[in-house]
Chains A and B, each alone.
Chain A
């Protein structure tokens, strides 16, 4: 036994000693290769569903038009990029940036901008005329100290109310609500009609923040909302108080008790399945509701199995958010990265990516025919609505502020202490505005 033992031991150590350098040399070789030839490493959290599909399409076009510079997809999964952002933070600190990374356009990028980790790309906008073809409101809302730091690829809308027409019909509701009072009336009617049907389907904490954001916009209006995010913003106002009260009312009386255990898809599915009437969610829900089952979607008919409207009180307001790509400082292949950004802002890229992803282009010259029913509606609204940036998805508040609000909201959901919540929001504003 001991002889065998020793022989095995020697073998094992030899094997390990041989394997490690072999693995190492492979790594080293490819590292050398990377510096020599051209590669475009793109970092995102698009690992599933329509986003991955859209990214794959872009990748294919890029590889065709840039055969000497292969696309390297470095996506890391994790809801809303939680893992990806952490890994990215680490890579940027370690001065090992990708050639381009995904980030929500707006204040979410501030952390990178202030730390000098991304480069301004105003020249790119001028060179390719993006500033002429993207809405001025949009560009002014993503500028920081006059400069632009990312190229928006898509636009999603957050203030959408999805509903099941059959469920509404059964409760005697003839049209979707447009004011808050009507909305409350409808919710009460659903609740009274059938106790097995949840009036408003709700999911985990971030979706509740998402709901709260739309209530704030509905209560304060677009200019009131925009003001909140400036130094002079007043979170102590009666308007905010009302919004909090409305939010609390919904939480306590019209939503499902197991919200914290549901993802946004689970909550949306309740509406599709007729187990809930309404759901407030961004328009990526449309992709989930109507997409093919092969991708894990529900393959329902928009306009028939489900319908949508603006969150009551926010008609004419487009609560937008956008996935955008940046130019990191010290990108290993800066020239390729710039080409990538130029490509992303082009009509071809945006009209290839967005129909698959389930969003609309940031550019206003999209080919409407390529888009499904909901997106056609959204495209129309994008041209005419007042734009306000989303909180939950990083447009109007930077990460520290967003986290502070998130924590305050998470606490509020447990305590239902409205005045403490408002105080916490005031404090968060004071610290971060």
Chain B
């Protein structure tokens, strides 16, 4: 095929995509660029200043006592609890539904339900549920545990010194499990029945069928779920503020970024946090993308 004919083939496609390309270039990359520029500037107060200041803001952040011991530690705990929790619950629900039950539609609707409720609202409810009040002021889930005699389960929830942020992940798990369940369910059912039958014919037990036929098929889904949950976790803001406000005890980078930009007007430091968040996200995303592109080439 001649060069011109080839261009005439894919040309229209590129043309159709061009508006989106321009919009993304401006509103994503243009703004990211602006952000990086600000993080390297000396704009540390409400008075705009655009002189180059190198990595001063980043250095400030690194030596900031709340950055590593609170922001990053909290983020790490939250992320692990959120991802592991959602994957386990979502997977379990999908597994339970996989073989088909009467009323599957009802169950699916119930599990997907939490996603429709905005976090500003869910935050208030979960704040009540996770109420850490002691003694005779006990309420929320602690009160239920108390009534059921499960005293060992009563705890400080999101105020816990070391694992408080794992409790903070509970509302997030609640909201996202339904969606992850849907993903996994689709994954389960994407395994052709013939393959399962063939394995059964070969004498494999149901357990083995799952283990050697079904689960390997779930790898791509799990990877996507991991990436998606991970990027949500890094950006989490609404939930944290709705439950814990802007206190150091529940501080995460997205909230600290807000505080720096809008409360302290330290724009460079806020931009530095944003840039670091983006960097963190890309570390998660790049493997996913490489995997996607590669697996498609192989398909």
| A/B touching: CB–CB < 8 A | yes
Binding site for B on A (CB under 8 A): 79, 82, 85-86, 89, 93, 111-112, 114-115, 117, 195-196, 204-205, 256-258, 260-261, 275, 399-400, 402-404, 407-408, 410-411, 413-414, 420, 424
Q: Give chain A nearest CB distance to B42 CB in angstroms.
A: 14
> Do residues A261 and B127 form an inter-chain contact, with CB atoms below 8 A?
yes
Which 10 residue pairs across A and B have the least CB separation, nearest first?
A: A410-B248, A111-B46, A403-B264, A86-B262, A205-B247, A258-B132, A115-B46, A400-B264, A258-B133, A115-B47
> Do residues A403 and B263 form an inter-chain contact, with CB atoms below 8 A?
yes
Residues of B within 8 A of A424 (CB): 65
> Do residues A115 and B48 form an inter-chain contact, with CB atoms below 8 A?
yes
20 more contacts with CB within 8 A, not counting A79-B245, A86-B262, are A82-B246, A89-B46, A89-B261, A112-B46, A204-B245, A205-B248, A256-B133, A256-B134, A257-B156, A258-B134, A260-B159, A261-B130, A275-B137, A399-B264, A402-B263, A407-B66, A410-B249, A411-B65, A414-B249, A424-B65
Contact with A along B262-273 (1 / 0, CB 8 A): 111110000000
Q: Give chain B nearest CB distance to A129 CB in angstroms.
A: 32
**Could you pull out 30 A-B pairs where Cβ atoms are within 8 angstroms?**
A79-B245, A82-B246, A82-B263, A89-B46, A93-B48, A111-B45, A112-B46, A114-B45, A204-B247, A256-B134, A257-B159, A258-B131, A258-B159, A260-B159, A261-B127, A261-B131, A261-B132, A261-B158, A402-B264, A403-B266, A407-B66, A410-B247, A410-B251, A411-B66, A411-B70, A413-B248, A414-B70, A414-B161, A414-B249, A424-B65
| A425, B43: Cα distance in complex, Å | 23
Considering the complex, which residues of chain B in the window 183-216 have a beta carbon less than 8 Å from any beta carbon of chain A?
none
Cβ of B230 < 8 Å from any Cβ of A? Answer: no
Residues of A within 8 A of B260 (CB): 403
> Do residues B264 and A258 form an inter-chain contact, with CB atoms below 8 A?
no
| A274, B218: Cα distance in complex, Å | 57
Residues of A within 8 A of B296 (CB): none
Q: Give chain B nearest CB distance to A328 CB in angstroms.
A: 14
| A270, B287: Cα distance in complex, Å | 52
Query: Please, which residue of chain B has its CB at the minimum distance from the CB of A115?
Result: B46
Residues of B within 8 A of A420 (CB): 65
Query: Please, which residue of chain B has its CB at the minimum distance from the CB of A88?
Result: B262
Size bracket, chain B contacts: 35 or more
Cβ of B259 < 8 Å from any Cβ of A? Answer: yes
Residues of A within 8 A of B64 (CB): 407
Query: Please, which residue of chain A has its CB at the minimum distance from the CB of B48?
Result: A115
> Do residues B134 and A260 form an inter-chain contact, with CB atoms below 8 A?
no
Query: Please, which residue of chain B has its CB at the minimum distance from the CB of A114?
Result: B47
Number of A-B contacts defined by CB within 8 Å = 100
Residues of B within 8 A of A82 (CB): 246, 262-263
Cβ of B91 < 8 Å from any Cβ of A? Answer: no
Cβ of B135 < 8 Å from any Cβ of A? Answer: yes
Query: Please, which residue of chain B has its CB at the minimum distance from the CB of A195?
Result: B135
Cβ of B78 < 8 Å from any Cβ of A? Answer: no
Select which of A85, A205, A275 is within 8 A of B249 by beta carbon: A205
| A411, B246: Cα distance in complex, Å | 12
Residues of B within 8 A of A413 (CB): 248-249
| A408, B65: Cα distance in complex, Å | 8
Binding site for A on B (CB under 8 A): 44-48, 64-66, 70, 127, 130-137, 156, 158-159, 161, 244-251, 258-266
Select which of A256, A404, A407 is within 8 A of B248 by beta carbon: A407
Query: Please, which residue of chain A has its CB at the minimum distance from the CB of B246?
Result: A82
Residues of A within 8 A of B156 (CB): 257-258
Q: Give chain A nearest CB distance to B210 CB in angstroms.
A: 34
| A341, B159: Cα distance in complex, Å | 44
Select which of B134, B245, B258, B264 is within 8 A of A257 by beta carbon: B134
Q: Give chain B nearest CB distance to A107 CB in angstroms.
A: 12
| A77, B53: Cα distance in complex, Å | 36
Query: Please, which residue of chain B has its CB at the minimum distance from the CB of A117?
Result: B46
Q: Give chain A nearest CB distance to B266 CB in angstroms.
A: 6
The answer to whether residues A260 and B47 also contact, given A399-B264, A410-B66, A414-B249 and a CB cut-off of 8 A, is no
Among B127, B158, B249, B266, the one with the most A-chain Cβ atoms within 10 Å of its Cβ is B249
> Do residues B159 and A261 form an inter-chain contact, with CB atoms below 8 A?
yes
Residues of B within 8 A of A414 (CB): 70, 161, 248-249
Q: Give chain B nearest CB distance to A228 CB in angstroms.
A: 19
| A112, B265: Cα distance in complex, Å | 10
Residues of B within 8 A of A205 (CB): 245-249
Among A86, A408, A411, the one with the most B-chain Cβ atoms within 10 Å of its Cβ is A411
| A258, B246: Cα distance in complex, Å | 16
Q: Give chain A nearest CB distance to B120 CB in angstroms.
A: 10
Residues of A within 8 A of B48 (CB): 93, 115
Q: Give chain B nearest CB distance to A285 CB in angstroms.
A: 19
Select which of B47, B130, B259 is within 8 A of A403 by beta carbon: B259
The answer to whether residues A404 and B264 also contact, given A115-B48, A196-B135, A261-B132 and a CB cut-off of 8 A, is yes
Q: Give chain B nearest CB distance to A81 CB in angstroms.
A: 10
Q: Give chain B nearest CB distance to A149 CB in angstroms.
A: 14
Query: Please, which residue of chain A has its CB at the minimum distance from the CB of B256?
Result: A407
> Do residues A89 and B135 form an inter-chain contact, with CB atoms below 8 A?
no
Query: Please, which residue of chain B has its CB at the minimum distance from the CB of A205?
Result: B247
> Do residues B133 and A89 form an inter-chain contact, with CB atoms below 8 A?
no
Query: Please, which residue of chain A has its CB at the minimum distance from the CB of B65?
Result: A411
Residues of A within 8 A of B159 (CB): 257-258, 260-261
Residues of A within 8 A of B133 (CB): 256, 258, 261
> Do residues A89 and B134 form an inter-chain contact, with CB atoms below 8 A?
no
> Do residues A85 and B262 form an inter-chain contact, with CB atoms below 8 A?
yes
| A402, B156: Cα distance in complex, Å | 29
> Do residues A400 and B127 form an inter-chain contact, with CB atoms below 8 A?
no
Residues of A within 8 A of B136 (CB): 196
